[in-house]
């Protein structure tokens, strides 16, 4: 096996993503290019309670439903769901104009009653309560739907319309495109090697250390070899796990530790609440076998500072993803931000 390119190699090269079956162009020599493009507005400090926030305890949501005076994690059906529990869409197998019905359910998870308490500032015990909620929802919805997607859009830069700490859970009766690709890739690797792609990858990253941000006995946080976004990370269990509902108590506690460490690194990097899209991929309902491995994706957009973000335009939209900052350098910078 050829050794992967090292940080000292500043020449352009491409890296393969075996999980997503795609390539990314890496151009380290462009990292110092001047920036005169768009800057993002900095987020203002939020109060612990906001009367007009539709997620704060006791407040009325659109449509007249009033939140209970909740004290911990609060979950409810989305008032504006992207999926409905029934579908009357006609199916068409037209080779050029295909369409198919889809059913599903959308849930909202408020992490805390405090409007200004981000997950990075929560205690590990409070984060465990969020993980427990994710797991319970995955178990319940997974009995009905093919795929359960736990995710969070954090910050205005990622299109989040409400600063209250919250995430979402969408369950649907089919595998979304990204998940379908990961299913195919993991199954293909298992058939060829007789081992889990992501367990093998976790062992490789732990051995090399170069892209490792944090680890404990159960979890790794790495900037993946194939990272697309500047400070993208992958959260990997170091044990076989199909989905969040299969985690034991100690594994949930150690996951809370890993998440807190990662999010604190993000916030410390540019001394700002770090925006990101986060999501968990677990085994779909119809999948069988040990090839599927639970993992979490973090896609943060910030590039050079709290106000400069990476834009996926031009070549990225028309050719393939491209990055200047190497994953190795990104991981080193995140490690330096650990408290």
pLDDT, tens digit, for every residue of 41-61? 556 678 999 999 999 999 999
Distance in angstroms (rounded) separating the CA atoms of residues 107 and 227:
29
Shared domain for 140 and 243, answered yes or no, is no
- Percentage of residues in the chain having pLDDT higher than 70: 93
User: Which residues are identified as catalytic?
Assistant: 166
Residue 12 within any structural domain of the chain: no
- Contact present, 189 and 291 (Cβ < 8 Å): yes
Structure confidence by residue, pLDDT tens digits, 23-47: 999 999 776 655 445 555 556 678 9
Distance in angstroms (rounded) separating the CA atoms of residues 305 and 114:
27
pTM of the prediction? 0.93
Shared domain for 328 and 215, answered yes or no, is yes
Q: Give the structural domain span for 307.
A: 177-336
Identify the band that residue 304 occupies on the pLDDT scale cut at 50, 70 and 90: confident
Q: Which residues pair with 305 in a beta bridge?
A: 308
77 CB-near residues (< 8 Å, 6+ apart): 105, 106, 107, 108
Nearest residue to 268 (alpha-carbon basis) of 152, 120, 131, 141: 120
Structure confidence by residue, pLDDT tens digits, 141-169: 999 999 999 999 998 887 888 999 999 99
Chosen domain end from 113, 140, 172:
172
Distance in angstroms (rounded) separating the CA atoms of residues 204 and 310:
28
Residue 54 within any structural domain of the chain: no
């Amino acid at each position: 096996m050829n050794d992967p390119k090292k940080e000292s190699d500043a020449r352009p090269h491409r890296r393969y993503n075996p999980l997503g079956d795609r390539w990314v162009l890496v151009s380290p020599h462009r990292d110092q290019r001047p920036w005169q493009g768009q800057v993002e507005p900095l987020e203002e400090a939020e109060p612990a309670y906001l009367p007009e926030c539709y997620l704060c305890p006791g407040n009325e949501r659109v449509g007249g439903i009033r939140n209970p005076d909740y004290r911990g994690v609060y979950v409810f059906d989305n008032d504006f769901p992207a999926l409905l529990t029934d579908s009357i869409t006609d199916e068409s197998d037209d080779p050029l104009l295909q369409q198919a019905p889809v059913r599903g359910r959308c849930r909202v998870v408020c992490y805390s009653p405090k409007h200004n308490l981000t997950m990075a500032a929560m205690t590990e015990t409070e984060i465990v309560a969020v993980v427990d909620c994710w797991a319970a929802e995955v178990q319940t919805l997974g009995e009905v739907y093919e795929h359960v997607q736990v995710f969070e859009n954090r910050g205005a830069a990622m299109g989040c319309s409400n600063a209250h700490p919250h995430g979402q859970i969408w369950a649907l009766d089919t595998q979304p495109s990204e998940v379908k690709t990961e299913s195919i890739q993991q199954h293909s690797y298992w058939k060829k090697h007789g081992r889990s792609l992501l367990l093998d990858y976790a062992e490789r990253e732990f051995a090399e250390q170069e892209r490792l941000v944090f680890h404990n006995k159960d979890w790794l946080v790495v900037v993946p070899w194939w990272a697309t976004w500047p400070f993208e990370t992958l959260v990997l269990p170091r044990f076989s796990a199909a989905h969040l509902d299969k985690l034991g108590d100690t594994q949930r506690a150690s996951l809370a530790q890993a998440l807190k460490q990662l999010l604190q690194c993000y916030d410390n990097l540019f001394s700002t609440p770090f925006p990101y899209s986060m999501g968990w991929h677990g085994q779909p309902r119809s999948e069988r076998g040990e090839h599927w491995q639970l993992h979490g994706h973090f896609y943060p957009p910030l590039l050079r500072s709290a106000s400069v973000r990476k834009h996926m335009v031009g070549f990225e939209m028309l050719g393939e993803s491209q990055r200047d900052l190497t994953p190795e350098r990104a991981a080193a910078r995140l490690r330096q931000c650990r408290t």
